[in-house]
A and B are shown apart, each in its own frame.
Chain A
Amino acid sequence: MSLPVGALPLEAAPIPAFVALFAPAVAALVLAAAPALRRRGAPASWVTLTASLLATAAAVTLLVTQLREGGSHVWMASWLQINGAGVGDFGVRLDGVSATMLLVVCVVATCVQVFSLGYMHDEKPPAFGRYFAYHALFLFSMNLLVLAPDLLQLFAGWELVGATSYLLIGFYYQKPSAGQAALKAFWITKLADMGFLMALMVLYKTTGTFRWDAAVTAATATTVSGLLFFAVVGKSAQFPLHIWLPDAMEGPTPVSALLHAATMVAAGVFLIVRANPLFAHAPATRDVMLLVGSGTALFAACLALVQTDIKKVLAYSTCSQLGYMVAALGAGSVFGGFFHLATHAFFKALLFLAAGSVIHAVHSNELADMGGLRRRMPVTATTFIIGAMSLAGIPGLAGFFSKDLVLASVEGRYGWVPFGALMATAFLTAFYMGRVVFLAFFGEARGHAGHAHESGGSLLVPLLVLTVPSVALGWVAAPLAHLSGATYELHLVGVVPILAASLGLGGFALAWVVYGRGTLVVSALAPLERLVATRAVNRVYEVGYRRVLLVVADVLGWIDRYLIDGLMNFLGWSAVAGGRALRRVQTGNAQDYVFAVVLGAIALAAWGLLP
Chain B
Amino acid sequence: MTFDTLRPLVLPLAVTAAALVVLLADLALPPNSARRGKVLGGLTVALLSGVLVASFVVDTSGLAAHGAYVGNAWTTFFARLFLVAGALGVLGAMEHLEAHAPRRQGEYYTLLLFSIVGMMIVPGARDLLLLVVAFELMGIPLYILAAYAKTDAAKTRKVSDPARAFDAAEAAKAPHAPAAEAAIKLYLVGATSTAITLFGLSLVVGMAGTTRLAGLFGAETPAPITVVGMMLVLAGLSFKIGVVPFHMWVPDTYEGAPTPFVAFLSVAPKAGGIAALVVVFLLGTGGHPGHWTLAIAVLAAASMTIGNLLALPQTDVRRLLGFSGVAQMGYVLLAIATGNAEGLSTAAFYLAAYVFSNMGAFLVLHAVAADGGTHDLAGLAGLSRRSPFLGLSLLAFLLSLAGIPFMIGFWAKLFIFLAAYRAGLVGLVVLGSVLAVVGLFYYLQVARAAYMVEPTQAAAPRVGGALRAAILLCLLAAAGLGLWPAPLHESASEAGASLSNSLSTGTPAPVSPGDDSQ
Contact = CB atoms under 8 A, between A and B. Distances in A.
Interface in B221-244: 224, 227-228, 230-232, 234-236, 238-239, 244
B312 interface: yes
Interface stretch (B100-108, B189-197, B477-485): B189-197
Interface stretch (A327-335, A470-478, A588-596): A588-596
B246 interface: yes
Contact of A604 (B189, B224, B295, B306): B295
Given A590-B184, A593-B189, A600-B246, A608 B309 contact: no
A599 B245 contact: yes
Interface string A289-319: 0000000000000000000000000000000
A145 B230 CA distance: 86
B232 A601 contact: yes
A210 to B, nearest CB: 47
Most buried by B among A576, A583, A593: A593
B251 interface: yes
A608 B310 contact: no
Contacts of B188: 590-591, 593-594
Interface in B279-315: 291, 295, 298, 306, 309-313
Nearest to B197: A601
A610 B306 CA distance: 25
Contacts of B234: 604
A608 B312 CA distance: 33
In terms of DSSP, what is the predominant structure of the interface of chain B? Answer: helix
A594 B465 CA distance: 40
Interface string A423-448: 00000000000000000000000000
Contacts of B184: 590
A597 B235 contact: yes
Interface string A21-53: 000000000000000000000000000000000
A578 B309 contact: yes
B249 interface: yes
Contacts of B232: 601, 604-605
A362 to B, nearest CB: 64
Interface string A568-611: 00001001101110110110101111101111110011011110
B285 to A, nearest CB: 12
B152 interface: no
A598 B246 CA distance: 9
A274 B370 CA distance: 84
A607 B193 contact: no
A610 B230 CA distance: 14
B244 to A, nearest CB: 8
Contacts, number: 93
B193 A597 contact: yes
B291 A607 contact: yes
B196 A575 contact: no
B326 to A, nearest CB: 11
A594 B189 contact: yes
Most buried by A among B181, B245, B252: B245
A521 to B, nearest CB: 78
Nearest to A592: B248
A154 to B, nearest CB: 51
Interface residues on A, range: 20 to 34
A597 B227 contact: no
A439 to B, nearest CB: 71
B23 interface: no
Contacts of B270: none
B95 to A, nearest CB: 31
A596 B310 contact: no
A576 B231 contact: no
Nearest to A586: B248
Most buried by A among B227, B231, B244: B231
A580 B189 CA distance: 24
A409 B291 CA distance: 94
A26 to B, nearest CB: 50
Nearest to B306: A582
A124 B213 CA distance: 97
Contact of A600 (B228, B230, B245, B309): B245
Given A597-B192, A600-B238, A610-B291, A579 B228 contact: no
B224 A609 contact: yes
Given A575-B312, A583-B310, A600-B235, A608 B291 contact: yes
Given A586-B248, A597-B189, A604 B231 contact: yes
A583 B323 CA distance: 11
Given A579-B313, A586-B251, A599-B245, A608 B224 contact: yes
B438 interface: yes
Contacts of B193: 597
Interface in B299-358: 306, 309-313
Contacts of A600: 235, 238, 244-246
A598 B236 CA distance: 10
Interface string A211-235: 0000000000000000000000000
Contact of A579 (B185, B230, B310): B310
Contacts of A609: 224, 227-228
Nearest to B239: A597
A578 B441 CA distance: 14
A579 B244 CA distance: 14
Contacts of A583: 310, 313
Contacts of B438: 575
Interface string B168-202: 00000000000001001100110011001000000
Contacts of B245: 596-597, 599-600
Given A590-B184, A590-B185, A594-B188, A608 B230 contact: yes
B312 A601 contact: no
Contacts of B236: 601
Interface string B497-513: 00000000000000000
Most buried by B among A575, A588, A597, A605: A597
Contacts of A578: 309, 312
Contacts of A596: 245-246, 248
26 contacts: A575-B309, A579-B309, A579-B311, A580-B313, A582-B306, A582-B310, A583-B310, A583-B313, A585-B248, A586-B251, A593-B185, A593-B252, A597-B189, A597-B193, A597-B239, A600-B244, A600-B245, A600-B246, A601-B231, A601-B232, A604-B295, A605-B235, A608-B224, A608-B295, A609-B224, A609-B227
Interface of B: 181, 184-185, 188-189, 192-193, 196, 224, 227-228, 230-232, 234-236, 238-239, 244-246, 248-249, 251-252, 291, 295, 298, 306, 309-313, 438, 441
Interface of A: 572, 575-576, 578-580, 582-583, 585-586, 588, 590-594, 596-601, 604-605, 607-610
Given A597-B189, A597-B192, A601-B235, 10 more contacts: A575-B438, A576-B312, A578-B309, A579-B309, A590-B189, A592-B248, A594-B192, A596-B245, A597-B235, A600-B244
